[in-house]
Amino acid sequence: MESDSINVDPLELDKFSQLAHRWWDPNSEFKPLHEINPLRLNYIDRLTHLAGKTVLDVGCGGGILSESMAERGAAVTGIDLGDKALKVAKLHLLESGKQVNYRKVAVEELAREQPHHYDVVTCMEMLEHVPSPASTVKACAQLAKPGGWVFFSTINRNPKSYLFAVIGAEYVLNLLPRGTHDYAKFIKPSELARMARDAGLDVEEIIGMTYNPITKVYALGSDSNVNYIMAFRA
Ligand SMILES: C[S@@+](CC[C@H](N)C(=O)[O-])C[C@H]1O[C@@H](n2cnc3c(N)ncnc32)[C@H](O)[C@@H]1O
């Protein structure tokens, strides 16, 4: 990898590596990802019609979203820099019988290798874990075909998101291990939109993702104060 392309925080990779063996346990630390997956999958599928599309899933981890997009008929490549997560993702294919091409490669490096290659690029719950989200956004934009779709999901930065995503999820409800999220790395939609515009993407849509601690149900809707997904066109 070229030195200008290293955009990774080893401590962040380590956090996920230590838990990687539990990735497909729906009652583990990854429970929130399992529970939001049908929502984000249906959202992406509704906008892009995944069947027959070439899709890149950036920061794919154990492959929860990658596999589900493959199940909808997309030709999916999943990339991550975490060895253990990728190992788990590959092993799970043996169990599920799905087909996903998993690779350990930095998104910036893949952008040089395969510019304008994918119909759809997804990068979910990852931007808040990298040193330079703008670099990731730029690489994702370069990987999409002209007119292709690019999706990012991340966490907004405001008092409510601090309360819900850090205090609530990590300390009160124990949905996530303590230290999963660093408030300073949360990204406002306006900041993500600026990074994307600088990378040549057009904002298409923003949708909020909420968690109701009473009913324990996640939903998509207009409230993007905490978690949100943004859809762009290249
Ligand atoms: C919260 S998990 C999200 C996994 C998956 N995107 C999902 O939503 O189901 C964050 C993932 O980002 C990966 N990651 C962190 N920094 C990365 C980087 N610089 N390049 C690629 N993957 C990275 C971690 O290894 C981990 O798998």
Phi, psi (rounded to 5 degrees) for 49? 55, 80
Number of domains making up the chain:
1
pLDDT value for 5: 56
Write down the H helix ranges in the chain. 10-19, 31-48, 64-71, 83-96, 107-113, 133-143, 159-161, 189-198
Ligand 1 pocket (Cβ < 6 Å) reads 7-8, 12-13, 16, 33, 59-61, 64-65, 80-82, 85, 106, 124-126, 129-130
Reported confidence tier of residue 172, pLDDT bands at 50, 70, 90: confident
Which numbered atom of ligand 1 lies nearest the CA of 7? 19
pLDDT digits (tens, 9 = 90+) for 135-166: 999 999 999 999 999 999 999 999 998 888 88
| Domain that residue 204 falls in | 3-233
pLDDT digits (tens, 9 = 90+) for 100-149: 999 999 999 999 999 999 999 999 999 999 999 999 999 999 999 999 99
pLDDT value for 157: 95
- Of 11, 16, 23, 135, the residue with max ligand 1 atoms within 8 A of its CB, to mutate for a pocket test, comes to 16
Average pLDDT over residues 165-188: 88
Q: Is ipTM strictly over 0.90?
A: yes
Rounded to a whole number of angstroms, the distance between the first and last alpha carbons of the chain is 25
pLDDT value for 190: 98
pLDDT digits (tens, 9 = 90+) for 4-19: 558 999 999 999 999 9
| Interaxial angle between packed helices 133-143 and 189-198, expressed in degrees from 0 to 180 and rounded to the nearest 10 | 50
Q: What is the CATH number of the domain that holds 89?
A: 3.40.50.150
pLDDT digits (tens, 9 = 90+) for 25-80: 999 999 999 999 999 999 999 999 999 999 999 999 999 999 999 999 999 999 99
Which numbered atom of ligand 1 lies nearest the CA of 37? 9
pLDDT value for 165: 86
Relative to beta strand 217-221, strand 202-212 is: antiparallel
